Amino acid sequence: MKKLLEETKTIMKKYGIKANKDLGQNFLINEEVVENIINSSEISKEDLIIEIGPGLGTLTKELLKKAGKVVCIELDKKMIKILKDRFITSSNLEILNEDVLQVDLNELIKKHKGNDNIKKAKIVANLPYYITTPIIMKLLEDKLDIESITVMIQKEVADRLIEIPGGKNTGAITYTIYYYCESEKIMEVPNNSFIPEPDVTSEVIKMKLRNKPAVEIENPKVMFMIIKSAFMQRRKTLLNALTNTQVFASKQEGLKILKKLNLDENVRAENLSIQDYANIAKEIL
């Protein structure tokens, strides 16, 4: 851990950097974690890597050695200057000073795919934790032409994202991830792997995009609306939650649907498989 810690401190001192908490700046100083993120991303020279929030460039430095092309998206202008200075000789790096939530990633991938022998796109990042969920939802809902997403995020969120629907950490977002991806835990990361130390434990996870979604459904938006409604009142039975949120026109109607789908009337939101939710969506459409 020492060498990276020294390097990070030196860069911060040289540029007068104080980590900006509002931008979720916790800089990685653990070499083992860097190595794990890079190895689990399975990067080749045919890959375009989009790195979100490169910060001082700790991951960027390793990504540049392995990838055909690296595009970094960083909101903080101070980091842009550092990245430009550090990687001035790297011809396979593009740096964008933007808010990742505002970037047209489809356009960006289209621009690079096919050039310089680039065949696949992957996302790699130590994400700013204050916007973990919006970033991941954007990556999935924009239906990007990407192969995988390897990210470090807070452990509590990670456990929900990689859960199989029905498991103890299931939340509404579990179904979204499962619909689009096969996901796995890479490693848990202790707080002292960063400066400054974050308040929460972190975890690296990898989400591989499925060739086709986990269930067949004509209108997935309706299914996700039902899931969201069910989890808004997750302590209630599914029947009550979906009646209260007017997904079911009435309790009687709901009972009829649950019976038809062989679901117990006392079942709760987290007990259903994604196929069960797809079936409910088909019934109410």
- Give residues in contact with ligand SAM (CB under 6 A): 23-28, 52-56, 58-59, 73-76, 79, 99-101, 126, 128, 131
Q: How far is the CB of 194 from ligand SAM (least distance, A)?
A: 7
CB of 23 to ligand SAM, least distance (A): 4
Query: Minimum distance from CB of 171 to ligand SAM (Å)?
Result: 22
- 250 CB-side CA count, 13 A: 3
Nearer of residues 1 and 101 to ligand SAM, judged by Cβ:
101
| Virtual torsion, Cα 208, 214, 216, 220, nearest 10 deg | -70
| 214 contact partners, CB below 8 Å, separation of at least 6 | 178, 179, 180, 274
Nearer to ligand SAM, 126 or 174 (CB): 126
Planar angle of CA 135, 136, 139, nearest 5 degrees:
90
Residue with the CB atom nearest ligand SAM in the bound state: 53
CB of 96 to ligand SAM, least distance (A): 9
Residues 6+ apart with CB under 8 A from 257: 248, 280, 283, 284
* Nearest to ligand SAM of 23, 200 (CB atom): 23
Can you tell me the distance from the alpha carbon of 264 to that of 261, in angstroms, rounded to the nearest whole number? 9
For ligand SAM, which is the closer residue by CB, 70 or 131? Answer: 131
